[in-house]
Structure 1
Amino acid sequence: MEMLHYLLFTFITTLLLHQNINNVDAARHHHHISKKQKSKTAPAPEDNSVSPSPGYPPPVPSDPSYAPDPTLPEEPENNSTTSCIFDVTDFGAVGDGDTDDTAAFRSAWKAACLVENGVVLAPSDLVFVITSTIFSGPCQPGLVFQVDGVLMPPDGPECWPKSDSSKQWLVFYRLDGMTFNGTGTIEGNGQKWWDLPCKPHKGPNGSTLPGPCDSPAMIRFFMSSNLVVTGLRIQNSPQFHMKFDGCEGVLINKLSISSPKLSPNTDGIHIENTRNVGIYNSVIHNGDDCISIGTGCSDVDIEAVTCGPSHGISIGSLGPHNSHACVSNITVRNAIIRDSDNGLRIKTWQGGTGSVAGIYFENIQMENVRNCVIIDQYYCLTKACRNETSAVYLTDVTFRNIKGTYDVRSPPIHFACSDTVACTNITMSEVELLPYEGVLVDDPFCWNAYGVQETLTIPPIDCLQEGMPETIAENPLYGC
């Protein structure tokens, strides 16, 4: 009997154990199928080529050549926000290089402005013509204006609508946190404007009619903040290629700006009354200043920029018509300037007030540059200018590791400071400039300029005075 009970107990235990195993396998099998079914029904991620809007305020890196360590794990992508794309062709743009697509761009802008992360898209392989337009805000955060095709104005002054402003073409106004990017081209159609026979242009047979010419600047950002401009090719502007006026927080990266060497007044990037600016990794060749910095600018960082042919990197001109000018904390590093009329230049008018302070030029390579290092406080566009007792006060200007070759038609170093307001605290270190061809010009010019040579300068600059002048500009007229 005991043996019978034992056999019955063993049989029941085995049966229960086998049933549990089957239940576990069934559960595993059911879970596996559920995962498969879920992945099939989940929506596939959208594939769009629109660049994501960066975070704001825009980062202004101290070293634009920085690259992440490839041995470190990549950060996960943030897919919490998605872009809402407004393709201008969906709003009626034709893109045939002849039709006026202005209305379509304005409609797409208005729609994108109303939503977060809106993208106005000018697609590739099309050529869009639009007339002078102001794209204004305020708009929702994360707005992107992306040009992957070609965008251009009417062809010359005769085609310019009489009702449009002839001083500007594209204006971005009252915006915060906007990105202007793309893989396309902004074409200025500047040739017919350059041919106008008025100043600063050259008329037929060398004659020039009274000016100035009324030519449009190509792209203007006005009264805006936290801007990013990247990736675009901007070329052949009738006048300035890009202007920033009354802005704060600007990041410019990887731009190509170009126009012919003799195209008049075609500054590459011009900033005025603008603070906290980074200009990086860009190539600019044009007929005027590569980068020009006007009054009211501070905390500007320029690095890894190649200029030339051009008129170099300029601070000024400042103080025209006895005006007050203030510029401070400007840094230019790791730049190349080649085949240019000027290299590093600070230019002010007689009779101005204010100051230029905290200017730092470092690691600049010159190649066949005329006037490599120049301070000119007698800047004047005519022969009628006269000396005046007041001037913009220049102080704390450093030239460090400036090397290369110069055009021997002018001395490579020229410090012409005001008779009454001396330049002070000029620092020269590791400045080595040799003639591109011809004989060494060893007579740098200095006038009322004070500073130090930390190392021997080539050519020698014995005219730089040590110490400080007997009177220093402490007049409130020179405060900022």
Structure 2
Amino acid sequence: MDHCSYCYTNLVTYFVLFSILCCQHLSNVLVKVEARAHYHKKKGEKSSTTIAPSSPSYAPVPSSDAPDPSPTQQGPCIFDVTSYGAVGDGATDDTAAFQAAWKAACAVESSVIVVPSDGKFMITSSIFSGPCKPGLVLQIDGVLMPPEGPNCWPKSDSKKQWLVFYRLDGFTMNGTGTIEGNGHKWWELPCKPHRGPHGSTLPGPCDSPAMIRFFLSNNTRLIGLRIQNSPQFHIKFDGCDGVHIDKLQINSPENSPNTDGIHIGDTKNVGIYNSMIANGDDCISIGPGCSEVDIQGVVCDHSHGISIGSLGVHNSRSCVSNITVRGALIKNSDNGVRIKTWQGGSGSVSDISFQDIQMENTTNSIIIDQYYCLTKECRNQTSAVYLSGVSYNNIKGTYNNVRSAPIHFACSDAVPCTNITMSEVELLPAQGALVDNPFCWNAYGIQQTLTIPPIDCLQDGMPLSLGEAVAGC
């Protein structure tokens, strides 16, 4: 009995004939299967790409396109969604076909679900659950999209998420296709305001679905896809361990609200490489409970920059550690690299490194904001998330704010920021005169080299008290 026939013995009769045909003609099917090698860099490991300190720039991370050897002599088994009834005309609901293909492939080791390049496949809100057999790949070469706008969204479906991948291990999503979010009508819902053209304010989303969510999944890989126009966050990782992202393109308009490119929360061992993100909110956002995150070779355009936070909302405890951002280009953005926390929180942010970053036409290039608040009713409190060990090295470029300096360290009254390190920081105005009065409040650290603009407000040494700071996150 050949490999694939054995794989399908326990599947429903309807799919047996397809499975046999699939594997008999496997040699005629071209499938790109990305390598499944372990990806995460060891702590402290140096990249093979370096940037001269005098000229930071976008620095792609070397990566290999070579596929793994076939898992068996006959290769992986292919599950084409059209063989399960998917039409791919952009109008027919293909959800049932995708769920059937997933169920069949999930039971087979080293299987590939193929979304062919000649189709536009519409599916409704769906959860693709594991555990599955090892080596499952979803290869999207066509277009995959949700219903168009809130009026077409099935009433029985969640309006908080579209594609959910749950309890998977060793799952890969790749391909040459596009995941289209059809977000335009969601952005017009009358809730949170957002930026409109020519400085105007437009209404924003109420309940709007995140486009792709990975929940309690480990060793996940996203390679080479184009993801665009999400109603809300493009990609979210919650409670995951082991994420590798390489060569993604994420695109949404500048005025699309809450469209974070990549958001991670309660997730560790993350690598984000060689990706281009243009969107209307944080390019990459790092939430509570994250550690061991390596971001390299990323381009952020017309976004809110790369953010840690917000942390400590509703007096919660937040712990973030060992985050490295390097070799990035951030341009035309409200913020460059930012850490934001609410008053009244607890926990800590530690061992954060921003290095070799080029800024082009940013507003707040370097910012720590421990007074983050969305209304005018927030009050100062006696506890805060403790920030310590934040370094800024070889960060250069231009800013567009003619009213305030591009460096802003607003630390809590009760819990000072400590061990801030500045080296080779040179930020010049895109036009006009240099704004040479950076803001510091309760911030302690050192300048290893003179900065432009000078940051004489950074206090030497350590404070006499850390207030109610809680150590041991």
Alignment TM-score > 0.5, same fold: yes
* 2:7 alignment partner in structure 1: none
Report the CA distance between 1:439 and its aligned residue: 1.2
Give 3-state SS (helix, strand or coil) of 1:292's partner.
strand
Q: Say which of 272, 284, 288 aligns to 2:277.
A: 284
Q: Report deviation, 1:54.
A: 2.9
Other-structure match for 1:223 = 216
In structure 2, relative to structure 1, the CA distance for the partners of 1:94 and 1:80 (3 Å cut) is closer
Residue aligned with 1:261, SS:
coil
117, 130, 142: which one aligns with 1:124: 117
SS of the equivalent of 2:108 reads coil
Q: Aligned partners of 1:202 and 1:344: how far apart in 2?
A: 21
Instruction: Tell me the distance in 1 between the aligned counterparts of 2:26 and 2:95.
Output: 33
Quick one: which of 329, 333, 339 aligns to 2:332? 339
Amino acid at match of 2:227: I
Indicate the residue corresponding to 1:439 in structure 2.
433
1: distance between equivalents of 2:257 and 2:133? 38
> Mapping of 1:354-433 within 5 angstroms?
354-409=347-402, 410-433=404-427
Match of 2:29 in 1: 48
Partner residue in 1 for 2:460: 466
Question: Which position in structure 2 is the counterpart of 1:66?
Answer: 62
**Whose Rg is larger?**
1
Q: 1:207 to 1:462 in 2, by over 3 A?
A: closer
Q: Normalised by the size of structure 1, how large is the TM-score? A: 0.86
The code of the aligned residue for 2:27 comes to E
Change (3 A) 1:126 1:425: same
Choose from 238, 243, 262 the match for 1:245.
238
Structure 1 position 78 matched with structure 2 position 69: yes
Q: Partner of 1:197 in structure 2?
A: 190
The amino acid across from 1:389 in the alignment is: T
The 5 Å alignment of 1:90-109 reads 90-109=83-102
Offset from partner CA, 1:384-405 (integer Å, 9 cap, x none): 0010000000000000000000
Decide whether the 8 Å contact of 2:88 with 2:119 is kept in 1: yes
1:297 aligns with 2:293: no
Find the partner of 1:135 among 112, 120, 128. 128
Structure 1 residues 212 and 388 mapped into 2: Cα distance closer, same or farther (>3 Å)?
farther
Alignment map for 1:258-277 (pairs within 5 Å): 258-277=251-270
Greater RCO, CA 8 A, separation 6+: 2
CA RMSD of aligned residues (A): 2.3
Q: Which has the higher helix share?
A: 1
Q: Distance in 2 between matches of 1:307 and 1:248?
A: 24
Counterpart Cα distance in 2 of 1:165 and 1:191: 18
Q: TM-score, normalised by structure 2?
A: 0.87
Change (3 A) 1:430 1:154: same
Provide, for residues 160-213 of structure 1, a one-character-per-residue CA deviation record: whole Å limited to 9, x for no partner.
00000000000000000000111000000000000111114479997877x871
Quote how far apart the aligned CAs of 1:281 are: 0.1
Q: Distance in 1 between matches of 2:113 and 2:67?
A: 27
Please give the alpha-carbon distance, in whole angstroms, between the structure 1 residues aligned to 2:178 and 2:186: 19
Aligned to 2:96, the other structure's residue is in SS state: helix
Q: Report if aligned partners of 2:414, 2:468 keep a CA contact under 8 Å in 1.
A: no
1:48: Cα distance to partner?
Answer: 3.0
Cα distance, 1:47 vs structure 2: 4.2
Stretches of structure 2 lacking an aligned partner (at least 5 in a row)? 1-23, 48-59
Give the Å deviation of 1:118: 1.1
- Is the 2:367–2:409 Cα contact (8 Å) retained in structure 1? yes
Deviation at 1:51, TM superposition (A): 2.2
| Aligned mates of 1:328, 1:224 — CA distance in 2 | 21
Query: Does structure 1 conserve the Cα–Cα contact (< 8 Å) formed by 2:188 and 2:202?
Result: no
CA contact (8 A) 2:61 2:273 kept: no
Q: Which piece of structure 1 moves more, 309-318 or 195-204?
A: 195-204
Instruction: Give the CA deviation at 1:59.
Output: 4.5
Instruction: Using the TM superposition, give the Cα deviation of residue 216 of structure 1 relative to its aligned residue in structure 2, in angstroms.
Output: 0.2
Residues 261, 281 of structure 2: 8 Å contact kept: yes
Gap change, CA 1:206 and 1:402, over 3 Å in 2 = closer
Shift in CA distance, 80/130, structure 1 to aligned 2, threshold 3 Å: closer
Calculate percent identity across the aligned residue pairs.
69
Q: Is the 8 A contact 2:82 2:97 kept in 1?
A: yes
